[in-house]
């Protein structure tokens, strides 16, 4: 099955939403699969630029030994590649938890279920950035 066959994913699936910074990933996990991971209608290795980022995104599957048992259809938007990969990781972990609640101790111990809530602080009026004040002038 290739990325073009993504629309042919059929049957029951488990759903998870992952977030990180400004990236949001919606994950559909199909339990009876062959290990196909499709991100925005591309293979995961095509979509993410480096193997390290692919490893970050698919790490929950490696942790539960499910890299060849599930098919994944993922839609991700916002942020950069690393933020998107961490959002995908969070979404996969939540979908796995939806499928089998007994996986919670394994996923929780690795920190995959914790949403990393660090986001960019908003700019305040009168300042140049969130906290950077204009340079002080004596005269």
Instruction: Walk me through the domains of the chain, giving residue ranges and CATH numbers.
Output: 3-110 (3.30.230.10)
Mean pLDDT in consecutive groups of 10 residues from the start of the chain, 139 residues: 61 93 93 90 93 93 86 94 94 93 92 91 96 94
Query: Are residues 106 and 97 in contact, defined by beta-carbon separation less than 8 angstroms?
Result: no
For residue 109, which phi and psi values (nearest 5 degrees)?
Answer: -65, -35
pTM recorded for the entire structure: 0.85
Of 64, 23, 68, nearest to 47 by C-alpha is 23
Those residues whose C-beta lies under 8 Å from the C-beta of residue 28, and which sit 6 or more positions away, are 9, 13, 14, 15, 72, 73, 74, 95
How far is the C-alpha of 93 from the C-alpha of 83, rounded, in Å?
15
How far is the C-alpha of 22 from the C-alpha of 87, rounded, in Å?
9
What integer pLDDT is reported at residue 33 of this predicted model? 85
């Amino acid at each position: 099955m290739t990325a073009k066959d993504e629309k042919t994913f059929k049957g029951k699936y488990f759903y998870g939403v992952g977030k990180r910074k400004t990236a949001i990933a919606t994950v559909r996990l199909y339990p009876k699969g062959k290990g196909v991971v499709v991100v925005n209608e591309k293979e995961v290795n095509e979509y993410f630029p480096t193997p390290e980022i692919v490893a970050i995104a698919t790490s929950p599957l490696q942790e539960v030994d499910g890299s060849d048992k599930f098919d994944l259809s993922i839609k991700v938007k916002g942020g950069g590649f690393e933020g998107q990969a961490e959002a995908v990781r969070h979404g996969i972990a939540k979908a796995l938890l939806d499928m089998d609640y007994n996986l919670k101790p394994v996923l929780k111990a690795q920190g995959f279920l914790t949403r990393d809530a660090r986001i960019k602080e908003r700019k305040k009026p009168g300042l140049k950035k969130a906290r950077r004040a204009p340079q002080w002038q004596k005269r």
